[in-house]
Amino acid sequence: MTKKIDDKAAKSAGKSNRRDFLKKAGIGGATTVAASTLAAPAVLSQSAPIKWRLQTYSGAPLGAHVIKPQIEAFNKAANGEMEIELYYADQLVPTGELFRALQNGTIDAVQSDDATMASPVDVSVFGGYFPFSTRYSLDLPVLFDRYGLNEIWAEAYGEIEGVEWLGAGAWDPLHIFTKDPIRSLADMKGKRVFGVPTAGRFLSRYGLVPVTVPWDDVEVALQTGELDGVAWCGFTEAYEVGWADVCNYALLNNVTGAWCGSYFANTDSWAKVPDHLKELFKITIDQSHYYRQVWYWGGEAQLRAEGNKMELTTIPTEEWDQVVADAKGFWKDVASSSPRAGRVVKIFEEYTAVMEKVGVPYRYS
């Protein structure tokens, strides 16, 4: 009897010991799992997303088309690894100070043309609207991708510390919108216009007076008489941002077929971005270029044909031919400013000759 009781007690003690072991093991295991689970967010928090501040040359109404879709697409696709905060014209720094602000790291990236942001490179004169360098918006990416401008821009910015040039794309053609009509070259004299630097420099020989004001102040300046017009954009922008509401006339003779704009990054900021996010950013830049090609191309045609806010005017062909001839002299002057500028002008000349030789559908006249 005593032996059976002892055996039962031993079995009971064994079961108790096993229960205690399993219980302790369970608690320990749960604790281990819980600890690792709780530790995970701490690890994630140590890998905070890369934060960038990007400022564009454009105001918010225009920026909704020329860059906002790209930034939204990038931020979504970056999946929390990187986030770009978008700022519009003059929100962080004045547009004319964008290059310096980018170089010193005040901002991480910029979308602008070289001339407007005051890039200290000898190709900056070609940024924005270089007179008669293009006829259509597709000309510009072809010049960069197939005629060597990509390599020249990379070479030029490679000599500047602190800034990475990421690529160029086309925007809209350049037209002149005014409160009073322009029907001859003489009508340009004395008109104060808001515009981009290179085109303003060229057009000033006909009496136009380039005036610089903050982008958001242009509409008010037109209303108060500080400005007589704008030589900054095409029909799509003029309607989109409200300038067509305060200008009465649109000159159909355009000085250039496409605005040349680029993306830039601060060198240190760019170096901190992983390769896969760099590639993603470049892909969304290309996506932005495509979006603008379609938006501008369709918008320009539709608004010239159906827009009713401005009366359309033209300068007679015989007078405008003189402007085209003057542009050739302007090209020569710019070409002589540096060997690299000379290489760019030579490319423009070669490309123009090819387009004129091939004719329809590349050139109609």
H/E stretch holding 214 reads none
263-312 tens-digit pLDDT: 999 999 999 999 999 999 999 999 999 999 999 999 999 999 999 999 99
- Please give the Cα distance from 137 to 220 (Å, whole number): 30
Domain ranges of the chain: 50-170+258-307
Which two structure tokens, joined as six digits, stand for 14?
A: 């064994």
Domain 50-170+258-307 of CATH type 3.40.190.170: yes
Which two structure tokens, joined as six digits, stand for 91?
A: 């929100």
Kindly report which listed range (16-25, 91-100, 283-292, 351-360) carries the lowest average pLDDT score.
16-25
- Please give the Cα distance from 173 to 98 (Å, whole number): 23
- Please give the average per-residue pLDDT across 81-99, as a whole number: 97
Q: Is the pLDDT of residue 261 over 90?
A: yes
Instruction: Give whole-number Cα distances, 206 to 141, 156, 182, 196, 203, in Å.
Output: 30, 32, 12, 16, 6
**Of the candidates 248, 125, 95, 240, which has an alpha carbon nearest to the alpha carbon of residue 176?**
248
What was the pLDDT predicted at 196?
A: 87
What was the pLDDT predicted at 28?
A: 41
Residues in CB range of 34: below 8 A, 6 or more apart:
none
CB count, 10 Å around CB of 169?
A: 24
High-pLDDT (> 90) share of the chain, %: 86
Side chain identity, residue 105: G
What was the pLDDT predicted at 84?
A: 98
What was the pLDDT predicted at 38?
A: 37
- Please give the Cα distance from 253 to 185 (Å, whole number): 11
- Please give the Cα distance from 354 to 107 (Å, whole number): 41
160-203 tens-digit pLDDT: 999 999 999 999 999 999 999 999 999 999 999 999 899 999 99
Query: How would you list the strands of the sheet with 260-266, edge to edge?
Result: 82-87, 50-56, 109-112, 260-266, 163-170
Instruction: Give whole-number Cα distances, 362 to 138, 328, 358, in Å.
Output: 10, 20, 7
Residues in CB range of 167: below 8 A, 6 or more apart:
144, 150, 262, 263, 282, 285
Q: What is the CA radius of gyration of the chain?
A: 30
**Of the candidates 154, 165, 162, 49, which has an alpha carbon nearest to the alpha carbon of residue 112?**
165
What was the pLDDT predicted at 26?
A: 41
Asked whether the beta carbons of 66 and 171 are under 8 A apart, the reply is yes
Asked whether the beta carbons of 286 and 164 are under 8 A apart, the reply is no
Side chain identity, residue 58: S
Residue 81: exposed, middle, or buried by beta-carbon count in 10 A (0-12, 13-18, 19+)?
A: middle
Asked whether the beta carbons of 66 and 288 are under 8 A apart, the reply is yes
Q: Is the pLDDT of residue 113 over 50?
A: yes
What was the pLDDT predicted at 278?
A: 98
What was the pLDDT predicted at 47?
A: 77
What was the pLDDT predicted at 326?
A: 97
Q: Is the pLDDT of residue 365 over 90?
A: no
Kindly report which listed range (36-50, 138-152, 175-189, 215-229) carries the lowest average pLDDT score.
36-50
Q: What is the DSSP string of 249-309?
A: EEEEEEEES--EEEEEEEHHHHHTS-HHHHHHHHHHHHHHHHHHHHHHHHHHHHHHHH--S
Residue 34 vs residue 316, higher pLDDT: 316
Sign of the dihedral defined by the CA atoms of residues 221, 225, 230, 235, in that order: positive
Q: Is the pLDDT of residue 39 over 50?
A: no
Kindly report which listed range (11-20, 251-260, 319-328, 333-342) carries the lowest average pLDDT score.
11-20
What was the pLDDT predicted at 5?
A: 39
- Please give the average per-residue pLDDT across 210-214, as a whole number: 94
Going by their DSSP bridges, the two strands 82-87 and 50-56 should be labelled as parallel
Residues in CB range of 309: below 8 A, 6 or more apart:
239, 244, 245
pTM: 0.86
High-pLDDT (> 70) share of the chain, %: 87
H/E stretch holding 163 reads strand 163-170
Q: Is the pLDDT of residue 107 over 70?
A: yes
